Structure 1
Amino acid sequence: MAKTTIRPEDERLGLGPTFGYGIQHILAMFGGVIAVPLIVGGAAGLEPAEKALLVACGLFVSGLATLLQTLGVPYFGSQLPLVQGTSFAAVSTILAIIGDDGKEGMQHVFGAIIAAAAFGLVITPFFARVVRFFPAVVTGSIITVIGLSLMPVAAGWITGQATITVDGNVVENPDFASLENIGLALFSFLVVIVLSKIQMLSRLAVLLGLAIGTIVALILGKVDVSTVSSAAPFAFPQPFAFGLPLFEIGAIISMIIVVLVIMVETTADILAVGEVVGTKVDARRVGNGLRADMGASLIAPLFNGFPASAFAQNVGLVALTGIKSRFAVAAGGVVLVVLGLSPMAAAVFSLIPGPVLGGAGIVLFGTVAASGVRTLSKVNYQGNNNLVIVAASLAFGLIPVVSTNFWHSFPDWFVTIFHSGISSAAIVAVLLNLFFNVFLPGTPDEPSGEAAAPPLRVQTGEIEVLSEGGTLAPDSYEPDEKVEGTRAKGTSGHAH
């Protein structure tokens, strides 16, 4: 009888844990998924009720997209634990399309999204084939940048906005980076850390950290519960609530560039979560994931939504909790759909203060970066230029993080692509890998890997072997379980 291999992501948990972990995923991404409609609604001059409609539609579309990505149907869905949500990559382009046109600008936005998403669906088979150009040196660099580039998001949740609007006037925010906000964030951070040490609670550390942090914030008077009572218990998203989409060639071209960036980011997230889960991710699976991404983006404007993308912060949650089941994330998708149909339920989840989210986000996003470092530790740096690939891709990925206006003098299409640290790192890493390891492979005269680490001396029995660059000579070392008495001198810990 043939043995059936169960993939890690196909693990089935009980009903209670499945929805518990699903809610934890939603809490980790909730701030991000509601931020985009709020920003766009403000730029378009929408009324509060119309902004609330945009938020509800964003949750509804994100839930449907998450279900498609995790459960999958033929040719659509990677069947990986990936949460889909409204992409931040599209915000600047959406605001540029809206301009001063208000609601009419929204119609041009929705038309551009439909056309660009259709274009993305058409090119997906070609795009999925690039997966073979993502070896560990590329994926490790991208995953590291994903984690590091998300740190400003966590910091922004903690500090709040530097300015706020009061009676139509922009004034300084007195609570910006206040000791109270930072203290609340650090408290939430410590709760997550402590709970992560308790075996029974470690997998729910983030969920409990958010709950306890919110309770403390409620006691401190930093939570406004009035929004819950004023929200409607049920409301189905009205299709094309802002009018039928309008198609304008300039807006479509701009949105196509955004879609290409989203596809790069989603590809990186699919590969990253595959690495974290420990499952096989091939070109076909990447293609199915991208089709789910583009399919969700295509139908999003019908329900007044914006382009969908995989959320990198939830990759960190998978790594942190060890919950690899795609069904737990699918349960989160069900929760998102319910929240999208019930503004009152959505208001309950929106009570979590930014500092509490930020405190947990530090752990989540740091875990993503640490996963990238772990992947990079498996890379061979001897006799090649892999160290240059890592160095350059990390640098380009962090440029827009540390200097947001670095590329402002370049053409808009270039800014759209390289303003995203994730897409910058992905493009640079793939191109340099092609240059050094595909088109011009070989050993440089002075391998850059020699600077990677000091030499290690490895003693096996009576034979001591010196390995240059901190990497053990492949013919002189076996794992501890195969060769007894193998040990490394120095402070590097386990050499393998």
Structure 2
Amino acid sequence: MIIATLRLDLNNNNSMSRHYWLNVEVGMPDNDKHVFSPVNERLPWRQLLMFGTQHVLVMAASPIASVFLMATALGFSSELTLQLLSATFMVCGLGSLLQSLGWRGCGARLPFIMLPGGAPIMLFILIAQQNGVAVASGAVILTGVFYFLVLPIFRRLLRFFPSVVVGTMLLLVSVNLIKLSGELIVGRPDSVNFAAPQHLLLAFSTIVITVLCSRLLRGTLGQLSILFGLLGGSLLSVVLGVFDSSQLSLFPLLSLPTVLPFGMPEFDLFASIPLMLFCLVSMVEATGQTVAIREAVDKPLDVNRDVVRTIRGDALASILGGFMGTSLIITSGENIGVIRATQVRSRYVTAVSGLLLLLFALLAPLARLIEGVPEAVVGGTSLIVFAIVGTMGIDMLRKVDLRNHGNMYVVSTAMAVGLLPILVPGVYSHFPNGLSGLLGNGVAMGALTAAVMNFLFHCIGHPHASVDDKAKLATKASL
């Protein structure tokens, strides 16, 4: 195989040189060639480091929260908790590198960050409480293998996820994530400091700083407005005396993750069923995220190819996570909002984020420093980022004819099914545990409902196809 590389040096409005590579792989299929696109932009190392740090700081709360939730629920020691935090950062970093750079058909070569999912963490805890942590680790590994087994079947269903389905899913993702961000800000309703004015002050100050930086700063500094907002909120928390410095210490300096921290995994197929069911849900979410990030980076992609690569990356990261003691590690849609806000689309930025996550995995003081940032500050930053994900969903739905009878019912029914468990937590609490966890995932149920409704209205006889769709069908029939 011969690879020809064309390098172009362009100057943007800030007189900053940018380098693009157009790689043409001779002997490869046409749909597997690299395309000239901002996603392949290679920024100077200084900018890669700053933009990569911005992604990491916005997303760092997720692995920290997941590990401490697991440790609290399962009664892990502080030493084991620190090892699991290190392992989670390591798997997230390796997964982000895989998705950003790609390897042997795995990884979409898109600017993705990989994080532990909230639902998989709860399912891992449930399996561990009922069967032991060794069985829970085995369930994660079995689910990673299950990804590969069902992928050929799922690949045939990708045509049932057009813009009307993906746009609806992004709206539901945004609402769900905004709700979670709000909970970070106000805390638990049964806590003493629930909705404390100080927390609200930190959150809204973070938002104001972010907006002002975005409005007043230009060039690279303006693109770092989210990072500046997060740093500004953290500095304010130090002034107010609410920054948690109790865990800050230089020692131990290194924190090395342990392979098989719970011993040899035990493989129980029946106990693994809840995670395997979530695997199907995760594939649907990965489909929407891949389409959405394609829109964000403005790169024409082969959805059938790139969605498959994304899911393969999720599978490999999850299998590795099972051996390191974590739950499923999957692609995150949250960082899409960062990309849209900053307009920095390079996959090499998230590759650097992956390297930084690996650094956090090894250097314990860095992880403890991030852990000290108040949740209200992280929540304020997340509110903006996650709301931007919603605007992307609105933008996708704007291109859909919602006056069409079928499209109207696709969106409205999916929003009803998806928003119910998000806005009314516990609505399915009387159902069996595995089923209630699946039905209670509003994003997944909304996306699946949208896909089924789209099939019902637009794929069976096309009785409610729009005028444009009918014209396309007539053209295909004439051919």
TM-score by length of 2: 0.87
Aligned match for 1:177, one of 191, 195, 201: 195
Equivalent residue number for residue 332 of structure 1 = 353
Identify the range of structure 1 (330-339 vs 278-287) with the bigger mean alpha-carbon deviation: 278-287
User: How much has 1:95 moved relative to structure 2?
Assistant: 1.9
- AA aligned to 1:187 is S
> Is 2:322 aligned against 1:295?
no
Distance 1:224 1:124 in 2: 44
> Is 2:143 aligned against 1:116?
yes
Aligned match for 1:132, one of 159, 164, 167: 159
Distance 1:295 1:37 in 2: 20
Distance 1:274 1:131 in 2: 15
> Is 2:89 aligned against 1:74?
no
> Is 2:301 aligned against 1:271?
no
Distance 1:161 1:124 in 2: 39
Contact 1:87 1:262 in 2 (8 A): no
Identify the range of structure 1 (422-431 vs 271-280) with the bigger mean alpha-carbon deviation: 271-280
**Per the alignment, in what secondary structure is the counterpart of residue 156 of structure 2?**
helix
**Per the alignment, in what secondary structure is the counterpart of residue 98 of structure 2?**
helix
Equivalent residues in 2 for 1:332-411 (5 A)? 332-411=353-432
Distance 2:404 2:445 in 1: 26
Distance 2:403 2:194 in 1: 48
User: How much has 1:20 moved relative to structure 2?
Assistant: 0.8
Distance 2:126 2:353 in 1: 32
User: How much has 1:280 moved relative to structure 2?
Assistant: 2.5
What is the number of residues matched between the two proteins?
A: 436
Contact 1:400 1:420 in 2 (8 A): yes
Equivalent residue number for residue 223 of structure 2 = 203
Deviation sequence 1:168-206 (CA, Å, 0-9, x none): xxxxx3222100100111100111111111233321011
Q: Percent of counterpart pairs with the same letter?
A: 27
Equivalent residue number for residue 428 of structure 1 = 449
Distance 1:143 1:369 in 2: 6
Distance 1:315 1:91 in 2: 22
User: How much has 1:384 moved relative to structure 2?
Assistant: 3.7
User: How much has 1:122 moved relative to structure 2?
Assistant: 1.8
Aligned CA distance change for structure 1 residues 16 and 129 (closer, same or farther; 3 Å) = farther
Distance 2:167 2:345 in 1: 19
Equivalent residue number for residue 482 of structure 1 = none
> Is 2:348 aligned against 1:310?
no
Equivalent residue number for residue 167 of structure 1 = none
Deviation sequence 1:85-127 (CA, Å, 0-9, x none): 11112122122212266xxx11111011111110111222322
Equivalent residue number for residue 458 of structure 1 = none
> Is 2:208 aligned against 1:193?
no
Aligned match for 1:143, one of 153, 170, 174: 170
Aligned match for 2:93, one of 38, 63, 72: 63
Deviation sequence 1:440-483 (CA, Å, 0-9, x none): 31348xx9x9xxxxxxxxxxxxxxxxxxxxx9xx9xxxxxxxxx
Distance 1:139 1:294 in 2: 22
Identify the range of structure 1 (370-379 vs 396-405) with the bigger mean alpha-carbon deviation: 396-405
Contact 2:121 2:328 in 1 (8 A): no
User: How much has 1:235 moved relative to structure 2?
Assistant: 2.5
**Per the alignment, in what secondary structure is the counterpart of residue 379 of structure 1?**
coil
- AA aligned to 2:383 is I
TM-score by length of 1: 0.84
- AA aligned to 1:51 is T
Deviation sequence 1:329-364 (CA, Å, 0-9, x none): 110000001111111121122222111111111111
Contact 2:143 2:272 in 1 (8 A): yes
- AA aligned to 1:409 is H
Equivalent residue number for residue 126 of structure 2 = 96
**Per the alignment, in what secondary structure is the counterpart of residue 211 of structure 1?**
helix
Contact 1:83 1:329 in 2 (8 A): yes
Equivalent residue number for residue 285 of structure 1 = 306
User: How much has 1:418 moved relative to structure 2?
Assistant: 2.3
Contact 2:67 2:81 in 1 (8 A): yes
Runs of 4 or more consecutive aligned structure 1 residues displaced over 6 Å after TM superposition: none
- AA aligned to 1:116 is T
- AA aligned to 1:274 is R
Distance 2:344 2:267 in 1: 43
User: How much has 1:8 moved relative to structure 2?
Assistant: 2.5
> Is 2:78 aligned against 1:48?
yes
Deviation sequence 1:131-151 (CA, Å, 0-9, x none): 222211111111111111101
**Per the alignment, in what secondary structure is the counterpart of residue 224 of structure 2?**
helix
User: How much has 1:128 moved relative to structure 2?
Assistant: 2.8
Distance 1:11 1:157 in 2: 35
Structure 1: give runs of 5+ residues left out of the alignment: 164-172, 450-470, 475-496
Contact 1:38 1:54 in 2 (8 A): no
Contact 1:264 1:426 in 2 (8 A): yes
Equivalent residue number for residue 340 of structure 2 = 319
Aligned match for 2:180, one of 145, 149, 153: 153
